[in-house]
Amino acid sequence: MLLNKLIKQACLTFVLIAVVSTSAHAILPIEKLDSFKGAQAYLVQTKSLPMVDIEISIDAGDRYDPSAKSGLATVVGQLMNYGAKSEKGLLNEAQIADEIADLGANLGISVSGERAIMRIRTLSRKDLRDRAVQLASAMLSAPTYDAKILAREKQRMTTALLESETKPESVLDRRFRKLVYGDYPLANSPTVRSIANISTTDLQQFHRQFYRGDRMIVSIVGDVGKVEAAEIVQGLLQRVPQSGPAIAKLPEFERSTVEPLSQREVTIPFDTQQAHIAMGMTAVTRSNPDYFPLLVGNYVLGSGGFVSRLMSEVREKRGLAYSVFSYFAPGKDVGIFQAGVQTKSDQATLALEVMSSTIAQFIANGPMQSELDAAKANLINGYPLRIDNNRKLLDNVSSIAWNNLPLDTMDVWTKQVEMVSLDQVKEAFQKNLAMDRMKIVVLGVKNK
């Protein structure tokens, strides 16, 4: 088949160029394209592979769900795969799947707390690329939201939710997010009842309200120039409205929306051999100046694998767990810091004490110079692996655009890491984390 031959040729080209270029990697610039239908658009041109990766970020995440219909944003996104009105007529889910397969493309939609994301990967050859864009445009602008498919998917989601209640990781995650975010919308999780409340009218209304140009960002990475990239943007958004009715502003996150400190620790009985422990609190956004000191410092604390403080104290010295971690997940409006460990139920109290004391000591004293130097070296030397293919580049471009970061962020990333000092790490941790504001969930230990 011609398509299979093209894909094989593309892969061979990629391998040959990768061999030549890995030792001489250069960061490619992000180009800002003209706005279309109110949407921002960005391009990184890569010639190593005759393919193009496209992402449309829509400010339509789970945080906009009505409280009684948690899960609505996710259902809106998922059902876009199952039917759409194209310029040639109605497309059902089988026809959409067949077209994607025939193109040899990837096309999918995911929804997170902050945003919905449509991703497209296709060969950059114009005829195939145009077909992929046309299909994505139909799904993006005119999903059909068939009542029978909604009923089927609601049943599937209900089954998955009931099953998740038997999984300790899922139960822990839902309770931890509720404890950390309190009344803020990111705290909410779908339930069997909230999914049952969702109707096709809800889907159509949510889509009309949020899926519009002024709430979208298009990021493109691949073998296309600016003219071709502009054509892609216009093709994707040609049938999308530019704007719409005013949308209620999300509440500003305030610590007063979180449960009182007297409720900051929760123990959940659960029939499991391992105790699952989560500890954390809200933290910085990606655009916060403390991002890099926290990133570098946390490599020492809990994200550096076997060289991290938490791994040394919890696993190496005491043998309390196979793995222990901490991370910052910065968002656009509010981020989160989380540390976690799994251990035997009868060791849960000790594991929590060790994890807490290790984090407390790090907040108070910061890292040693040798630890800081090693962390910076690892992050800097490993940076090329964060941008060594189109998909990773697209992740970076998307994050930069979504968080309103400077377009040279990838160019200066290693410089920002290198500039981090001991004092900056210590100051950033003391300013943004505090043990008396940490939320703790312990699952798998019976209440005494």
Model pLDDT, residue 95: 97
What six digits make up the tokens of 244?
A: 């719409």
Residue 22 has pLDDT above 60, yes or no: no
Q: Are 203 and 145 in contact (CB under 8 A)?
A: yes
Residue 423 has pLDDT above 60, yes or no: yes
The pTM score is: 0.90
* Per-residue pLDDT band at 183 (split at 50, 70, 90): confident
Pairing of strands 265-268, 439-443: parallel
Work out the average pLDDT over 356-382.
Answer: 97
Q: Which residue's entry shows tokens 């910085």?
A: 284
pLDDT digits (tens, 9 = 90+) for 221-256: 999 999 999 999 999 999 999 998 889 888 877 654
Q: Which of 59, 65, 111, 73 is nearest to 333 (CA)?
A: 59
Task: Identify which of 2-6, 152-156, 253-257 has the greatest average pLDDT.
Answer: 152-156
* Per-residue pLDDT band at 26 (split at 50, 70, 90): low
Work out the average pLDDT over 199-207.
Answer: 98
Neighbour count for residue 280 (Cβ, 10 Å)? 25
pLDDT digits (tens, 9 = 90+) for 39-70: 999 999 999 899 999 999 999 999 999 989 99
Q: What Cα–Cα distance (Å) separates residue 391 from each residue in 129, 219, 317?
A: 17, 11, 39
Q: What is the DSSP letter of 308?
A: S
Cα 124 versus chain centre, distance: 26
H or E element at residue 15: helix 2-21
Beta strand ranges found along 207-273 (DSSP E): 216-222, 265-268
Q: Are 57 and 65 in contact (CB under 8 A)?
A: no
Report the alpha-carbon distance of residue 311 to residue 18 in Å, rounded: 35
Q: Which domains does the chain have, with CATH numbers?
A: 2-13+29-237 (3.30.830.10), 261-443 (3.30.830.10)
Residue 80 has pLDDT above 70, yes or no: yes
Model pLDDT, residue 248: 87
Model pLDDT, residue 72: 98
Residue 244, C-beta contacts closer than 8 angstroms, at least 6 positions apart: 208, 209, 212, 214
Residue 96 has pLDDT above 50, yes or no: yes
Percent of the chain past pLDDT 70, that is, above it, reads 91
Model pLDDT, residue 258: 52
Report the alpha-carbon distance of residue 48 to residue 66 in Å, rounded: 45
Residue 69, C-beta contacts closer than 8 angstroms, at least 6 positions apart: 194, 197, 198, 202
Report the alpha-carbon distance of residue 363 to residue 293 in Å, rounded: 12
Q: Are 372 and 291 in contact (CB under 8 A)?
A: no
Work out the average pLDDT over 3-32.
Answer: 51
Report the alpha-carbon distance of residue 13 to residue 47 in Å, rounded: 10
Opening angle at CA 399, ends 396 and 403, nearest 5: 145
Q: Which residue's entry shows tokens 């139920």?
A: 345
Residue 33, amino acid = L
b/e code 367-377 from CB counts within 10 Å (16+ = b): beeebbebbbe
